[in-house]
Each structure stands twice: as structure tokens, then as C-alpha cells.
Chain A
Amino acid sequence: MKKKTLLSVSVLFLLLCTTATVAQNFLEGGRVSGNFQLDAQIYKADSAIGAGEVDEKMLMNAFANLLYSNGNFNAGLRFETYLNPIQGYDPRYKGSGVPYWFGSWRNEQFEITVGNFYEQFGSGMILRSYEERNLGYDNAFKGAKVRFSPADGVILKGMIGTQRFFWEQGPGIVRGLDGEFALNDIFDKEGNCKTRVILGGSFVSKYQQTEELYAGPDTLLILPANVASYALRANVTRGKFALDGEYAGKMNDPSFMNNFIYKNGHSLLLQASFSTKGLGIIASAKRTDNMSYKSRRTESGSFLDINYLPALTRQHAYSLSAMYPYATQPNGEMALQGQVNYKIKRGSLIGGKYGTDIAVNYSRITSIKKETAEGESKIGKPGTAGYKSPFLAFGDELYFQDFNIEIQRKFTNSFKALISYLYQDYNVLILEGYEEPMVNAHIVIADATYRFDNKQALKMEYQQLITKQDEGDWLQVLVEYTFAPKWYFTLADQYNYGNSDKNKRFHYPTVSAGYTNGSNRLMMSYGKQREGIICVGGVCRNVPASNGLTLTLTSTF
């Protein structure tokens, strides 16, 4: 498989080059660019915090992207190497190779891409392939896609491909069509209408050879080979107001994720916002019911996803506020979120000389209501229609709740500060899969930066998490000195001072330093890392406890 890729890449490049030699000026104006990242960790066992012995002592991930562009032609590849994958990455990444390469060209109306590619239809509820390199997530398609824009305001897309599964491709073939119509660009070229309307629709179908599977001693399931899904979306903006909505449906898709029920899936996402200079308000609601959609029906975990179900919660940036992150429950959830951003004017009595920023955010996610399906006595029995669920009813079970407020203010030219309070409820059983009481956590954060001169600054962070459940209370203190634009030094300690088991009240100190020169950056950190979930974008990765040295090098050229 890998060899085939190598061969294809070589052919692509050779073709490119020979063409260039024939048509002398093909490469003229062509440009190669790229980037590189290396993460290496040297481990030291620490039985107290649960950091195990690592046989290799040192583990390393690295990748490099190379892009060639010339006018309307682009080609690129990514080399990846995991020798062996650093802790927290799936061990199936072990090895080296070129899992990603593509060629694409475009003119006024068409854009054609062959090879590996990423794509998203609408908000991604029925199709999205993307990568989060730093979490080891990549569900790129391999195949072909075409984008066609026959007129202003009209974008049609079609694609076919299989999905990346570590160094292989998943078994399912995914076919997709999407159309997007910006009505104003089509019918109102002069721009007389103040309301902007964009409509879109998509259709996706996956094919995986049919299988027969015993769900019980006398329940033989015949699993559908083709599973279709569709979505409709609208986006309306008028001045300060915006309204966004997408509805998605999926045909019966019995899979490991939904315990092999034959129920259709649905999802609805609605968002409304109002914003003007100094004030922004947004409210969102989402319902998800049986929407896991993968290109292998027996797949568990977060691989081979065809679609993406965005979590309607705020993504936090401080480590203790991100300690209990929410992940979308594809089998069913009702979610609500609201956020207000407000700036108290600069120069006002309360706003101070530079103004004050306030942000309040609230989200609440519960189960959906499930009732037994017709003629069944049990909810979610394999081989049945699973359950019935009234569309607008909230379930009784709370999955996650987060209230947070953040106030940020610059006091003088050299001093600024942020304070924040959060309250979170986190359902351990649903989100981590083991029996534990719901975590109720209060979190306070204070973050202050003092600027000595035009280059030097000191930043201090204080974070405290108070909870009676799970591992109890935490404290984090961080001091960072920066010498712009090249250097930073950080000292930090996380302390589990409230652990109910006194022998587990550990400190997790780290020291780190970094050097940046233009787009080259070298970072080193030494210390202990607690076990936890790191989330970026939509994906979360469980990182085991570790103790040792981490080195990260990134470069772009």
C-alpha cells in the first residue's frame, strides 16, 4: 500500500518535472514551500503519578509538508514518521511514510483535486474530513473531488474517496455532492437587497459491502451496504442580525456505535446572533439523534468518521478550565448555548482608560428523550428500530453544563489583567464511561501581565479548581517571562492539593523555554504532566501521565 503511494508520488513529480523540461517555462514562477514539525519526548518512569516505564526511553513524531504551486497548478505531499509514536498517540501510527499527496488545478470555473484531500459540506454534519496533527487525528479522503462554479454565487462540489485509517484506507467508499447558492450574487448583482441569503444542500452516501452479523443467538442481522445521508442549510444575514441553520438526516445505519439499531438519524443546528460594535450576542441550539457515521460499521473510537458533530460548548484556553472538556455524544444529545461579549467603552467611568471586555457564556447539554419503539419492550435492542424520540423533548439526564464569565481590562500602558469564574457539571459516566458521581467544579482564574519595556514582560497566572468529586481540588500557578520577539521562559506547577487520598496530593512542576526566529520555533519543557484530556478543534486525546523532557521544533519556509 505504502509502496503504491510512493510510486504514485514519484510518477506525479516526474510527470511534473518532465513536462517542465519539455515546456521550458512551466516551472517559471513555480514555488516550493513547506513546513516541518518534530515532537520528541524523553521519559523517566514515575510510579507515583502513574507514568510507566517506556522501553524506548525516547519517542518521536515528525512530519513535513511540501507544497509546489505554479499559477493554477498545485501539488503537495506530507511525510510522516512516528518512531515510535509519542505517548497519547495511537500506537498504530508506528512507522514512516507518505500518507498524503495530491495534485490539483483550477480555472475560472473548475477545480479538480486528485489524491488525498480534506473537505467539508456545510457545518460538517454529514461530511467533513480534516486533520488535527497535534492530536493524531486525520480522516483525509483518498480519491478525487471536483468543484464547479458555473455562475457567480453558485458552488457545486462532488467527491469520492475512502478514508485514511493510520497507514491504510478504511473499507467504505464515500460519495458526496454539495451545492451552495448565494442568492444575492445570483439575483441581485447590484446589491440592492440588504438581506443576504445563502442556501445549501448536500447528499452523501457510503458503501461498504454487506455483512451478516449475529447480534444474539437467534438474531441474524443483514447490514445495509449503502447508507445515504442528506442535509439542508440556510444562512441569512441582515445588518447586525444573522441566522444560521442546518438540518441533517441519515438512513438506517446499524453500527457498533449505535449498538446495531436500524433507526434513522437526525440532527438540527440553529444559531442566531446580533452584533454591533462593542456588543455581540449569540444563541445556539442543537439536537443530535443517532448520527454517528463512519466508513466502517464496526469501528469504535474516533476514527473513520465521515461527519463532524460540533460540540456546543465553549472551548477553554486555561488548563484547569479545560480539565473537564465536553465531547459530542453522537447517539443523542440536546444542547443549548448562549454567549454575550460586551466592551465597556474606553474612557468611561467603569470602562477605564482603555475599556473593559466582558464575556459571559453558558451551555447545557442533556440526553434526548427515548421511548420504546413500536412492538418492542426494550430501548436500543440490536436489530430493531431502537427507540422513538420526540424531536423537541429534552431528556432527563444532564451530560454537561458550563457557566463562565471573563473580565479583561488594561489598566495602564504596562499592566493588564483578566479574571474569570466558571462553574461546570461534568457527567463522568457519559463522557468517560465509568461509574463515578457527576463532577461539580468551581474554577477561578486570575491572569496578569506586566510590561517592563518594549521587549520584556512578565505574566502570572493563578488557577484554582474546587470540587468534591473525582480527584478533588487543584491549583495551578504559572510565571512566564518573555523577551520579544524571540524568547520565553515559563515556570509552572499544578498541585492536586485537595485529593481525598492524602498520598496522591502530587505536584506537577514544569519548566519550559522557547526560542522563535521568524517562523522557526524551538520549545523545550521538562517536568511532569498529569494524565488528562487535551482537546483541540473538535477532537480530544487522552494523554497519559508522564515525566521527562519534551522538545518541539516547528519550521515554515
Chain B
Amino acid sequence: MKKIFLLAAMAVLILNVSAQEGEKTLKKLPSVNVKTLDGKTINTADISNNGKPIIMSFWALWCKPCINELTTIAEVYDEWVEETGVKVIAVSIDDSRSSSKVGPTVNGKGWEYDFLLDANGDFKRAMNVNMIPHTFLINGNGEIVWQHTSFSEGSELQLIEMVRKLNAGEAIESH
């Protein structure tokens, strides 16, 4: 009985939502609190890059492929910014065991991204991230237009290609 109730509830919900699928709403950045490297609390819904795209990468100090991805992008980051105006925001999901190491480590590596600390995974959950690296492409309106998990050498080229398409107003294949 209760299961039927649950199913019915879900069905109503899905019908309700799919009824307006026509206008295709993109998911906006959720509203969650995270910290900057100097301890300031900010709301993720306020993240913006003045109408330019954002690459948001979820990573952690213990994640090899994540570091690989951010290292690879770091080498071409200046050129990317100049060409497309894109901004990389690296969201560390390191917990309090190593979140205070994030600042010194990224400085030591000379990375020039924006960094956010999501020490208890609130942002990670709101973004449906299971495994890292998980990279999102966000358009100038703060909407998620594309996402990708894992990193392999050369993936960064696909990523910047997507940014170029977005800037050119071309359609991005749905995720």
C-alpha cells in the first residue's frame, strides 16, 4: 500500500516536471555554502564570471587524475583565459584532514585558479558528484551545460573545444 503511494507520488512529480520539458530548463548552480581559501563563506548560487563561461572541477589532494587534470590545464590556462575569458574554479572535496593543506599546495604548484573548499561534501552532493574528477561547464547565466567524469591525457582539448562552442553560441551535445 505504502509502496503504491510512493510510486504514485513519484509519478505525479515526474509528470509534472516532464509537462514542461518543452522549454528545456538547464540546471542552475545550486545554493550551497562553501568556503574560500581564506575562510570566507560564500553561496555557490552567487558564483559568476561576468557572463563568461566557467569550468568547475571537483578534485581532492589524494586524487591522482584530478591533480593531473589541473596540472595539464595550468600549462595552457593563460592562453585559455585570453582566448575565451573562461575561468576555472577548482572545488576541493578534501575534508578537514587535509583541507588546510589545499592553499599551500596549490600555491606551491603555482596554480592560478579560483579555489573553493567543500569540506563536508554539501556542494558535491548538490551537484550529484559521485567520483572525481568530475568537471562541469557552466555558461554565462550560471547554468550547467555539460559535464564529464574522469580525466585522460587530451581530455582538456575536448573541454576547451566545448568552451569555444559555447562562446560561439553553438549547441552543446546534451549530457
- Does A277 lie within 8 Å of B152, measured CB to CB? no
Q: A130-B120, A518-B148 are in contact. Are A451 and B97 (CB under 8 A)?
A: no
A residues near B (Cβ < 8 Å) are 3, 6-7, 9-14, 16-18, 20-21, 27-35, 37, 65, 67-69, 72, 74, 106, 118-120, 122-124, 128, 130-131, 133, 155, 180, 182, 185, 196, 198, 235, 237, 242, 244, 271, 273-282, 284, 308, 310-312, 314-318, 339-343, 354-355, 357, 359, 408, 410, 449, 451, 453-457, 482-485, 487-488, 514, 516, 518-519, 521, 536-538, 554, 556-557
Residues of chain A with a CB closer than 8 A to B2's CB: 3, 6-7, 10
Flag whether B89 is at the interface (Cβ < 8 A): no
Query: Closest approach, in angstroms, between the C-beta of A497 and any C-beta of chain B?
Result: 25
Interface residues of chain B: helix, strand, loop or mixed (majority): mixed
Chain B residue nearest to A536 (CB atoms) is: B62
- Does B31 lie within 8 Å of A72, measured CB to CB? yes
- Does A556 lie within 8 Å of B100, measured CB to CB? no
Residues of chain A with a CB closer than 8 A to B31's CB: 72, 106
Flag whether B150 is at the interface (Cβ < 8 A): yes
**Once the chains are docked, how many angstroms separate the CA of A488 from the CA of B154?**
12
- Does B13 lie within 8 Å of A554, measured CB to CB? no
Flag whether B121 is at the interface (Cβ < 8 A): yes
**Count of B interface residues, CB-CB < 8 Å:** 68
- Does A556 lie within 8 Å of B134, measured CB to CB? yes
User: Contacting A275 at CB < 8 Å: which of B14, B103, B119?
Assistant: B103
Residues of chain A with a CB closer than 8 A to B6's CB: 6-7, 9-10, 13
Interface residues of chain A: helix, strand, loop or mixed (majority): strand
- Does A271 lie within 8 Å of B131, measured CB to CB? no
- The proximity string for B residues 21-56 relative to A, scoring 1 for CB distances below 8 Å and 0 otherwise, is 000011110110100001111000000000000000
- Does B104 lie within 8 Å of A280, measured CB to CB? yes
Q: A68-B13, A278-B110, A280-B107 are in contact. Are A485 and B130 (CB under 8 A)?
A: no
Residues of chain B with a CB closer than 8 A to A516's CB: 148-150
B residues near A (Cβ < 8 Å) are 2-3, 5-6, 8-10, 12-14, 16-17, 20, 25-28, 30-31, 33, 38-41, 61-64, 71, 75, 95-98, 100-101, 103-110, 119-122, 125-126, 128-131, 134, 146-150, 152-155, 157-158, 173, 175
- Does B104 lie within 8 Å of A14, measured CB to CB? no
Q: A242-B103, A518-B173, A554-B131 are in contact. List 9 more A-B contacts (CB 8 A).
A: A20-B16, A237-B39, A273-B103, A279-B108, A341-B108, A341-B109, A485-B148, A485-B158, A556-B175
